Amino acid sequence: MSQTGVQARRSAVYLLDQVLGEGRLMSELIGAGALDKLQPADRATAQRLATETLRGIERADRLLQKHLQKYPPLTVHNALRIATVELCQGGAAHGIVNSAVEIVGANKRTASMKGLVNAVLRKIAATGVELWPTLRTPRMPKWIRDPLVAAYGNDVVAKMEVAHFAGAPLDLMAKGDHGALQRSLGGELLENNTVRLTDAGQVSMLPGFKRGSWWVQDAAASIPVQVLDPKEGESVLELCAAPGGKTMQIAATGAQVRAVDSSKNRMVRVRENLKRTRFKAELVVGDALEETGSWDVILLDAPCSATGTMRRHPDLPFAKDGSEFGELIDLQSQMLDHAIGLLKPGGRLVFCTCSLLPDEGECQVEDALARHSDISTDVAALKVPGVDPAWITEEGGLRLRPDYWADKGGMDGFYIACLRKS
């Protein structure tokens, strides 16, 4: 962080203003250059502060309520939230409070609230560290919590919320020897050969990044390709490929992959990652529903609500409201039917979504099986290292949840099914 920390904290406030006020995702904001003017260390700090505040926003607001008659304008509120989270995590009060006061004071519309900010944060500094752990684990917003409770029950959702609040470690996939990567960077080598790091710091500064020795990919996100099990020399069609982690996984096996995605901007990232890791793939910017041909091996990572990634992206439940669910579910169904139509007899198709909602996973496969009499689920393909057989679902898919591997730091929520055509 810079000497005063003001620039990083000001940028964190901006990120929260955009997420909570405009419904924008942090990944979109950062991709559009929201933090580009900051030094690398401040850039990482701004993103960390915004992320940690979103995770703990319920607790921060409960503490602030004790000292406010009503909530102030959003920018002031967000400055208070960020400072509260920092203070309750044991940060030095002097710098945190002064930064918040300076940020609020720099805006003519909020400058009159400097005194309020200073007074409130001094009270938080005196009691916050002690009170913070006594507050309940923050809950998801009702728009996503209610359907998850209906699907899994209160106890399971509460475990998910514990995982979300804890955040996510950094998972890496090695280009070569996973054991060598673990020995080089430390951390833990998981059962599925993911190397897991805690407190990794700035990713681009880790050994091996520039050489392309590894790429970042949550452990759960690596399982669909392990289920697909591509072989050297096989031709694989990957639909909805960006941001490219699975593309690199497939390429690493020696298979030839045609990676298709509709987003030109997201495909730029795929191309950059392939260049860094020196993998080869055919990249196509286009509509998956317009793909033609006949394939033995297909991976469809369908567009979805991304609710399974909330432990890594706590902005998601605040930037979205669930209004797009119906449209996404219809699109998934169309894409699954189209992919089945591209599959050769005897071929295999892995369908997956990074969603916790059964409508975007279990129900999609149940309905597809009813529509296509020549398709069946391959349960044996799901039994890859690290997968508990209890995670296999009634229709023959695999349900991953953030509270799984709780003693190791959890995993993203995913649904995965391997379909075979007779």
Active site members: 354
Helix-helix angle 142-152:154-166, to 10 degrees: 130
Tell me which residue has tokens 């390709």.
Answer: 225
What residue type is 69 in one-letter code? Answer: Q
Work out the end-to-end distance of the chain between its first and last CA atoms, rounded to an integer number of angstroms.
Answer: 59
Length of the chain measured in residues: 422
3-state secondary structure the chain: CCCCCHHHHHHHHHHHHHHHHHCCCHHHHHHCCCCCCCCHHHHHHHHHHHHHHHHCHHHHHHHHHCCCCCCCCHHHHHHHHHHHHHHHCCCCHHHHHHHHHHHHHCCCCCHHHHHHHHHHHHHHHHHHHHHHHHCCCCCCCHHHHHHHHHHHCHHHHHHHHHHHHHCCCEEEEECCCHHHHHHHHCCEECCCCCEEECCCCCHHHCCCCCCCCEEECCHHHHHHHHHHCCCCCCEEEEECCCCCHHHHHHHHCCCEEEEEECCHHHHHHHHHHHHHHCCCCEEEECCHHHCCCCEEEEEEECCCCCHHHCCCCCCHHHHCCCCCHHHHHHHHHHHHHHHHHHEEEEEEEEEEECCCCHHHCHHHHHHHHHHCCCEEECCHHHCCCCCCHHHECCCCCEEECCCCCHHHCCCCCEEEEEEEEC
Buried b (16+ CB within 10 A) or exposed e, 298-329: bbbbbbbbbbbbbbbbbbbbbbbebeebeebb
For β-strands 256-261 and 235-239, DSSP reports them as parallel
- What does the alpha-carbon distance between residue 420 and residue 244 come to, in Å, rounded to a whole number? 24
